[in-house]
Amino acid sequence: MVLLVTAACGAPSPANQEVAAPEAAVEAPAEDAVAEETGPAALVEDGAYPVTIAHKYGETTISELPERIVLVGLTEQDALLALGVVPVATREWYGEKPGAIFPWAESYLGGAELPVVLSSAELNFEQIAGLNPDLIVGLYSGITQDEYDTLSQIAPVVAQPAAYADWGIPWQEITLVIGQIVGQPQRAANLVAEVEGKFAAAQQHYPQFVGASGVVNSPWGYPDNYYIYGPQDVRGRIMTNLGFVIPAEIGELVGDAFGASVSRERLDLVDLDVIIWLFNTAEEGAAYRAEPVYQQLNVYAEGRDILLTADQPLYDAMNFGTVLSLDYVVTELPQLLVTALDGDPATQ
């Protein structure tokens, strides 16, 4: 079946769209975990400091709990909020949400003041310096050596890890590193284990996912190209966390990046067991599916393509792919996949 649900490319640069708030499936932190009520210092675990964190541009040692964290990555606010810490500043990706806080994370603010939102464009070093940070964090980012050097003149910096592509750090790693930063490594590990357990439960409940081929795509580059998210992208990892396999040919095509732009003449690469498209609008998705080259695909003929658009909460939740948003994903996405995998275009 074709599932027209309605999401976008990613930076990652999805379009700026407002979406309805999903019902929070993840419980807000207990009262003793809200930073405003007890203070983050009360949550610091024994022996948490000092901690040294390796990253793409070296190592950064943190000797005590940072009090003014500025984020130059795009999604780290969710892990911070899940651990009861509100950053001084976040960085706009898309959506223009107050404080760059999306619906699934709003309850974790605990009444705290919204973060300042940095531009999604070039970093404004003067603005960042004016925020008086004692730590700058850019895990889900692509900050350059020059940017790192300049930021390091303002405050210590934890950049993206060297082990992954820029914007390719797994959600688990973001959560664990943030846990180290705020002195809550065990609590962060518990949060990761909880979400991983939900993915494992989904695999057990839907064994047809395990070993099936599937990818997430964007029409980014239309009409000449489309975009495939690879194994190092958060959207690709959602598929593999559910048990799907991204074909080796796609992994080789993407290489060390988080995705790859591909000529529409090679749509055959995504003629798989199931594919998910992230479109801005339903009209955009319908126009894409009407193209003769697309209608030659088996995945089209058998209705095994899922179309998400930017007015759906699942669009944002998949793009972010964080310890908070993934609870919504693992709750809502599996049934769409089940219906698509039945290969019957008539099912809805």
Given 146, 174, 193, the domain boundary residue is 193
What are the pLDDT digits (tens) for 240-298?
A: 999 999 999 999 999 988 999 999 889 999 999 999 999 999 999 999 999 999 999 99
Distance CA 169, CA 270 (A): 24
The tokens for 40 are 């983050």
Q: CATH code at 91? A: 3.40.50.1980
Cα separations (Å) of 340 from 67, 155, 237, 252, 303?
A: 47, 49, 19, 26, 6
Q: Domain count of the chain?
A: 2
Tell me: do 78 and 207 sit in the same domain: no
Position 88 in a domain: yes
Residue 7's pLDDT band (cuts 50, 70, 90): very low
**pLDDT for residue 348:** 56
End-to-end CA distance of the chain: 6
Q: What is the DSSP letter of 271?
A: -
Residue 326 lies in a domain: yes
Report if residue 51 sits inside a domain: yes
Q: Of 102, 55, 97, which is closest to residue 82 (Cα–Cα)? A: 102
What's phi and psi for 154, nearest 5 deg? -95, -45
Mean pLDDT of the chain: 90
Q: What is the pLDDT of residue 10?
A: 41
Q: What is the pLDDT of residue 223?
A: 83
- Ranges of H-type helices in the chain: 35-38, 77-82, 125-130, 145-152, 171-181, 185-205, 234-241, 248-254, 282-289, 292-295, 298-301, 313-320, 325-341
Q: What does the alpha-carbon distance between residue 333 and residue 160 come to, in Å, rounded to a whole number?
A: 28
Q: Judge if 224 and 184 occupy the same domain.
A: no
Helices (H) and strands (E) in the chain, counts: 13, 13
Q: Which two tokens stand for residue 224?
A: 């000449």
Is 70 exceeded by the pLDDT of residue 153? yes
153 is a domain residue: yes
Given a contact cutoff of 8 angstroms between Cβ atoms, the answer to whether 102 and 75 are in contact is no
Residues 6+ apart with CB under 8 A from 292: none
Predicted pLDDT at 150: 98
pLDDT in tens, 9-45: 344 544 333 333 344 444 545 544 444 446 899 999 9
Whether 115 and 221 map to the same domain: the answer is no
The answer as to whether 246 is a domain residue is: yes
Domain co-membership, 321 together with 241: yes
Asked if the structure places residue 14 within a domain, the reply is: no
Q: Is residue 15 part of a domain?
A: no
Whole-number Å distance between alpha carbons of 336 and 218: 18
Domain with 90 in it: 31-193
Q: Which residues are within 8 A (CB) of 339 and not within 5 positions of it... i.e. 6 or more apart?
A: 1, 3, 347, 348
Judgement on whether residues 176 and 259 belong to the same structural domain of the protein: no
Distance (Å, rounded) from C-alpha 159 to C-alpha 103?
A: 26
> What single letter denotes the amino acid at residue 3?
L
The mean per-residue pLDDT over the stretch 230-242 comes to 95
Give me the mean pLDDT over the 107-121 stretch.
Answer: 95
Q: 179 and 232: one domain? A: no
- Together in a domain, 156 and 217: no
Whether residue 238 sits in one domain with residue 133: no
CA distance 65 to 77: 16
Show which of 159, 176, 193 is a domain's final residue.
Answer: 193
Residue 105 corresponds to which amino acid? A
Q: Tell me the residue type at 235.
A: R
Q: Please give the Cα distance from 76 to 230 (Å, whole number).
A: 21
Which has the higher per-residue pLDDT, 18 or 87? 87
Domain identity same for 205 and 187: no
Contact 314, 334 (CB under 8 A): no
Q: How far apart are CA 15 and CA 13, in angstroms?
A: 6
Whether 227 is in a domain gets the answer: yes
- The share of the chain scoring above pLDDT 90, in percent, equals 83
Paired tokens of 216: 């997430």
Give the pLDDT of residue 8. 34
User: Does pLDDT of 4 surpass 70?
Assistant: no
Euclidean distance between CA atoms 336 and 222, whole angstroms: 25
Question: Do 87 and 160 reside in the same domain of the chain?
Answer: yes
Q: Are residues 161 and 303 in the same domain?
A: no
End of a domain among 163, 193, 223? Answer: 193
Same domain membership, residue 284 and residue 306? yes
